[in-house]
């Protein structure tokens, strides 16, 4: 063994191996230090290391077999021992190893003293940047009294408002943080779901006239407490105390998270009031508004007005009251026009005081877009301009979630479903727990893209965030209908009615389905409930008209329809369209088609003139049904002239109207083209039953469509739909019987 080692030394195998290792180490140091400077991937060091490891035994074998001579490299066995220069070669290798080691040490020193400080600075900056995000969880009420809940929630609200003023600080949205209220979830999971690095949590405990509030700021990844403090205060002025605590917490957050001198934070500037009584009413009203039910919204309206009575200049109370009116229009408590009038009156005051108030500008831009699309259709220059302005306002206030919702609706109206989904997902990136955006996402997935499983996931998440919001409960009914599970669909409607028993529209909707399924007695019961709750509301009036039309009581239908039309009923859920349709078809059935034009002229002067330009789609629809009456009355020339004008109008306002087979069938009927009408009717009726549940009202109860039923193909498809309707009705009837038995 000693002789073998001596031979290795003599042949310089050990020196070659040492030199190889030193060179390899230098190469790896070069990769580690220099590659990042040129943006190269440091992972390339791994394959380089593997190559060198494989090369080491090869190099050692070659140094054993070959020798360096003055004549070049020769096999060791061919070299005369007396002429060998291995001693000189060894000394040269020693010098080379020393030089290479010196280079490696120099590279290490350069890295440590010149490059590492920059890397550390970048790392520190990266950590600081990552920490510039916080979620303010609802403070826990430990007082054991539900009446104090508004105080703990109010503290959270105040902090959210104030922290929104801190530049470069990402603050998780209110709906997202409040979705975790009362839930025992690990801080790291919450931070991960909200996309923040830190979480502020706390508790509130009242005892007599004192309050103890504990707040702590936690780094989510490590669980380390960055800051914590306990406040013991008197309740002589509860909201002054609240403002004091909020200011302290916000200032500490700035110092801890941003490492900056705190900017001056002002609750009055943030919310628009320094009146504690006004602020207390504001918090109570906000709680009711966020419930967003038929019963809670009028309560919210009243309390917001109380807040304004204490401070008429309370900016945020005016803004939230405006949004309350918007929600009332969505739920049917107000007509869209009445809500708009109230909203504009409030927001004009806000914008006079704060011309750049982003939420106010956003709400007004949304209303303007709705008005333009109703008047000019989705593809007009006016509508495009309105959408562009919505995007401008969104750039001013990227956290305004309502704008993502409206822009998604604009994309749906333009048949760009992928773009609509993209807008919703952008909004959800900012607030992943927005029930409103989750609802919109599910509707797009279900109604436009037929991705029902994904839609139900969105609805389920929305219900977790807002369990009492009827809109997100109802949405799952659409998924059930799409899956042809009609009993489950009705069950979802029933759950929504239980969640908001004061909403008359929910029993009205259920009644419509019952009439479609042939469950007349059950539908009549729901009609009675709607009438008891809101007898003069559009959906209730239109439902009673549907009841009479289904029973073919045309005299009564005419009376009901004229009352609605003359009363300028709002087109809520198609109520005006139902009234116009019911009036025209009943007048035709009664042999009074020639009287339709005179009545329409009395309420819409000029509507029977072919030169008449409909001011909105409502008038266009009325004029279109006037054409059907004129055809039945034998006034073909006037009917054709009006129809030609209407088609030109529709091609501009709604160029996609020709994709609607039912509309095309009605146009063909008016034009006297029976064959074309039948073809369009067949295409319309061939849709799956879940998309054609109103087939009976559309064909069997509409005077000008009845003649098409004589066609064999139409009659065959109608008989199939009758069987499917009976099966669906039986399914629902069984469920209702089981429910009655379980009571």
DSSP per-residue codes, 712-742: HHHHHHHHHHHHHHHHHHHHHHHHHHHHHHH
Question: Between these two residues, 376 and 235, which has the higher pLDDT value?
Answer: 376
Q: Are 15 and 97 in contact (CB under 8 A)?
A: yes
58-102 pLDDT, tens digit each: 666 666 555 555 555 655 555 555 555 556 666 665 666 666 667
Query: What does the pLDDT average to over 668-693?
Result: 95
Residue 115 in this model has a pLDDT that exceeds 80: no
What is the CB neighbour count within 10 angstroms for residue 275? 18
3-state class of 212 per DSSP?
A: strand
Report d(CA 441, CA 405) in Å as an integer: 9
Window from 54-58, 265-269, 303-307, 588-592 with minimum mean pLDDT: 265-269
Question: Between these two residues, 656 and 10, which has the higher pLDDT value?
Answer: 656
| pLDDT confidence bin for 368, thresholds 50/70/90 | very high
Residue 39 in this model has a pLDDT that exceeds 60: no
Q: Please, which residues have CB within 8 angstroms of residue 31's CB and are 6 or more apart in sequence? A: 42, 44, 45, 48
Q: Spell out the SS3 assignment of 495-556.
A: HHHHHCCCCCHHHHHHHHHHHHCCCHHHHHHHHHHHHHHCCCCHHHHHHHHHHHHHCCCHHH
12-38 pLDDT, tens digit each: 666 666 766 767 666 666 666 555 555
Q: Are 288 and 299 in contact (CB under 8 A)?
A: yes
Question: Between these two residues, 541 and 398, which has the higher pLDDT value?
Answer: 541
Q: Please, which residues have CB within 8 angstroms of residue 120's CB and are 6 or more apart in sequence? A: none
Helix axes 45-65, 13-34, angle to 10 degrees: 160
**CA neighbor of 557 nearest in space, from 567, 568, 542:** 542
3-state class of 261 per DSSP?
A: coil
**CA neighbor of 11 nearest in space, from 72, 57, 75:** 75
408-420 pLDDT, tens digit each: 999 998 889 999 9
Structure tokens at 384: 């495009």
Q: Are 375 and 336 in contact (CB under 8 A)?
A: no
Query: What does the pLDDT average to over 307-316?
Result: 94
Report d(CA 663, CA 682) in Å as an integer: 13
Secondary element (H or E) of residue 120: helix 116-130
- The radius of gyration computed from the CA coordinates of the chain, to the nearest angstrom, equals 38
Structure tokens at 450: 């037929």
Burial 130-155 (b: 16+ CB within 10 A, else e): ebbbbbbbbbebbbeeeebbbbbbbb
Q: Please, which residues have CB within 8 angstroms of residue 89's CB and are 6 or more apart in sequence? A: 12, 67, 68
Report d(CA 126, CA 128) in Å as an integer: 5
Report d(CA 735, CA 739) in Å as an integer: 6
Query: What does the pLDDT average to over 660-678?
Result: 96
Which DSSP category does 262 fall into? Answer: P
Residue 587 in this model has a pLDDT that exceeds 90: yes
Which DSSP category does 106 fall into? Answer: H
Query: What does the pLDDT average to over 480-498?
Result: 95
Query: What does the pLDDT average to over 671-700?
Result: 95
Secondary element (H or E) of residue 670: helix 661-670
Specify the pLDDT at position 168.
72
- What's the CATH code, domain 133-271? 3.40.50.10610
Contacts 24+ apart (CB under 8 A), 448-457: 448/412, 448/417, 448/420, 449/417, 449/421, 450/482, 452/479, 452/482, 452/483, 455/479
Query: What does the pLDDT average to over 263-288?
Result: 74
Window from 494-508, 644-658, 717-731 with minimum mean pLDDT: 644-658
224-236 pLDDT, tens digit each: 888 888 888 776 6
Specify the pLDDT at position 205.
85
Query: What does the pLDDT average to over 699-722?
Result: 96
Specify the pLDDT at position 593.
96
CA dihedral 250, 256, 261, 265 (to 10 degrees): -10
Report d(CA 494, CA 477) in Å as an integer: 10
Residue 398 in this model has a pLDDT that exceeds 50: yes
| pLDDT confidence bin for 127, thresholds 50/70/90 | very low
Helix axes 486-499, 712-742, angle to 10 degrees: 50
What is the CB neighbour count within 10 angstroms for residue 715? 12
Instruction: Count each helix (H run) and each strand (E run) in the chain, helices first.
Output: 34, 8
Secondary element (H or E) of residue 464: helix 452-465
147-200 pLDDT, tens digit each: 677 778 877 877 787 777 776 778 888 888 888 888 888 888 998 888 888 899
The percentage of residues in the chain with a pLDDT greater than 70, rounded to a whole number, is: 78
Report d(CA 22, CA 444) in Å as an integer: 64
Report d(CA 650, CA 642) in Å as an integer: 12
Residue 607 to residues 587, 596, 604, 619, Cα–Cα distance (Å): 18, 11, 6, 8
| pLDDT confidence bin for 121, thresholds 50/70/90 | very low
Query: What does the pLDDT average to over 475-501?
Result: 94
Question: Between these two residues, 172 and 540, which has the higher pLDDT value?
Answer: 540
| pLDDT confidence bin for 240, thresholds 50/70/90 | low
| pLDDT confidence bin for 104, thresholds 50/70/90 | low
What is the CB neighbour count within 10 angstroms for residue 246? 24
Specify the pLDDT at position 97.
65
Which DSSP category does 436 fall into? Answer: H
- Whether the CA torsion 358, 200, 198, 178 is positive or negative: it is negative
Alpha carbon 517 to chain centroid distance?
Answer: 33
Helix, strand, coil abundance in the chain, percent, nearest 5: 70, 5, 20
Structure tokens at 467: 């369990």
Structure tokens at 710: 């004589």
Class of domain 276-355: mainly alpha
Specify the pLDDT at position 226.
81
Report d(CA 583, CA 621) in Å as an integer: 13
Report d(CA 700, CA 2) in Å as an integer: 110
Helix axes 661-670, 617-632, angle to 10 degrees: 40
User: Residue length, the chain?
Assistant: 743
Most confident of 101-110, 275-284, 552-561: 552-561
Question: Between these two residues, 169 and 734, which has the higher pLDDT value?
Answer: 734
Residue 119 in this model has a pLDDT that exceeds 50: no
Residue 437 in this model has a pLDDT that exceeds 90: yes
Structure tokens at 231: 């406040």
Alpha carbon 357 to chain centroid distance?
Answer: 22
Report d(CA 439, CA 471) in Å as an integer: 8
The percentage of residues in the chain with a pLDDT greater than 90, rounded to a whole number, is: 51
Per-domain boundaries in the chain: 2-127, 133-271, 276-355
Specify the pLDDT at position 643.
96
Residue 396 to residues 364, 375, 391, Cα–Cα distance (Å): 14, 27, 9
Specify the pLDDT at position 284.
87
Distance separating the N- and C-terminal Cα atoms of the chain: 97
Mean pLDDT estimate for the chain: 84
**CA neighbor of 571 nearest in space, from 602, 548, 537, 544:** 537
Residue 41 in this model has a pLDDT that exceeds 70: no
Alpha carbon 227 to chain centroid distance?
Answer: 34
Specify the pLDDT at position 147.
65
**CA neighbor of 574 nearest in space, from 607, 527, 608, 617:** 617
Q: Are 279 and 155 in contact (CB under 8 A)?
A: no
């Amino acid at each position: 063994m000693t002789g073998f080692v001596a031979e290795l030394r003599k042949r310089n195998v050990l020196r070659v191996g040492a030199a190889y290792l030193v060179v390899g180490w230098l190469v790896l140091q070069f990769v580690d230090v220099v590659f990042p400077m040129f943006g190269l991937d440091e992972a390339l060091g791994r394959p380089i290391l593997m190559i060198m490891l494989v090369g080491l035994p090869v190099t050692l074998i070659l140094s054993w077999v070959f020798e360096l001579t003055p004549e070049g490299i020769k096999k060791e066995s061919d070299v005369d021992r007396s002429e060998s220069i291995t001693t000189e070669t060894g000394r040269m290798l020693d010098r080379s190893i020393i030089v290479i080691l010196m280079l490696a040490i120099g590279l290490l020193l350069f890295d440590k003293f010149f490059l590492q400080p920059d890397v550390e600075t970048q790392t520190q900056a990266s950590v600081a940047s990552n920490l510039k995000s916080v979620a303010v969880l609802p403070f826990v009420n430990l007082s054991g009294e539900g009446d104090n809940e508004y105080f703990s929630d109010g503290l959270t609200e105040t902090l959210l408002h104030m922290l929104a003023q801190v530049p470069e600080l990402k603050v998780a949205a209110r709906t997202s943080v409040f979705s975790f209220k009362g839930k025992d979830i690990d801080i790291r999971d919450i931070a991960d779901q909200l996309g923040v690095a830190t979480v502020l949590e706390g508790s509130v405990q009242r005892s007599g006239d004192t309050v103890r509030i504990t707040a702590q700021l936690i780094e989510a990844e490590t669980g380390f407490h960055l800051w914590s403090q306990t406040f013991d205060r008197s309740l002589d002025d509860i909201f002054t105390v609240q403002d004091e605590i909020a200011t302290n917490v916000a200032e500490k957050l700035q110092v801890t998270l941003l490492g900056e001198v705190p900017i001056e934070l002002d609750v009055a500037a943030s919310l628009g009031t320094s009146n504690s009584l006004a602020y207390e009413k504001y918090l109570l009203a906000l709680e009711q508004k966020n419930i967003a039910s038929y019963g809670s919204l009028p309560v919210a309206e009243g309390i917001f007005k109380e807040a304004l009575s204490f401070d008429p200049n309370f900016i945020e109370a005016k803004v939230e009251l405006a949004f309350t009116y918007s929600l009332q229009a969505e739920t049917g408590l107000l007509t869209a026009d009445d809500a708009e009038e109230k909203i504009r009156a409030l927001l004009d005051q806000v914008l006079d005081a704060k011309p750049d108030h982003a939420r106010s500008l956003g709400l007004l831009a949304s209303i303007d877009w709705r008005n333009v699309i109703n008047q000019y259709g989705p593809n007009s220059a006016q509508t495009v301009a309105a959408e562009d302005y919505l995007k401008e306002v969104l750039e001013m206030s990227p956290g305004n979630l309502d704008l993502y919702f409206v822009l998604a609706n604009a994309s749906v109206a333009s048949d760009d479903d992928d773009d609509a989904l993209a807008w919703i997902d952008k909004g959800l990136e900012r607030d992943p727990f927005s029930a409103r955006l989750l609802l919109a996402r599910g509707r797009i997935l279900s109604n436009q893209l037929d991705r029902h499983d994904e839609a139900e996931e969105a609805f389920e998440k929305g219900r977790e965030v807002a369990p009492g919001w009827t809109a997100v409960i109802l949405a799952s009914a659409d998924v059930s209908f799409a899956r042809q599970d009609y009993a489950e669909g009705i069950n979802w409607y029933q759950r929504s009615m239980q969640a908001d028993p004061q909403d008359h529209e929910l029993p009205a909707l259920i009644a419509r389905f019952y009439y479609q399924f042939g469950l007349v007695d059950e539908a009549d019961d729901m009609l009675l409930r709607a009438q008891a709750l809101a007898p003069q509301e559009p959906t209730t009036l239109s439902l009673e008209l549907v009841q009479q039309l289904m029973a073919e009581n045309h005299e009564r239908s005419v009376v009901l329809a004229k009352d609605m039309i003359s009363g300028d009923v709002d087109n809520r859920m198609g109520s005006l369209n139902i009234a116009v349709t019911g009036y025209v078809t009943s007048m035709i059935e009664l042999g009074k088609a020639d009287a339709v034009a005179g009545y329409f002229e009395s309420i819409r002067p000029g509507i029977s003139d072919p030169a008449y330009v409909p001011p909105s789609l409502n008038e266009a629809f009325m004029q279109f049904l006037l054409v059907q009456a004129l055809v039945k009355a034998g006034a073909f020339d006037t009917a054709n002239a009006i129809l030609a004008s209407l088609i030109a109008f529709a091609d501009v306002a709604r160029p996609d109207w020709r994709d609607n087979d039912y509309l095309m069938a009605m146009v063909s009927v008016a034009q006297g083209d029976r064959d074309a009408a039948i073809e369009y009717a067949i295409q319309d009726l061939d849709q799956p039953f879940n998309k054609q549940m109103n087939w009976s009202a559309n064909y069997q109860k509409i005077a000008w469509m009845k003649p098409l039923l004589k066609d064999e193909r139409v009659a065959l498809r109608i008989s199939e739909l009758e069987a499917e309707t009976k099966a669906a009705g039986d399914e629902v009837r069984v469920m209702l019987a089981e429910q009655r038995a379980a009571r």
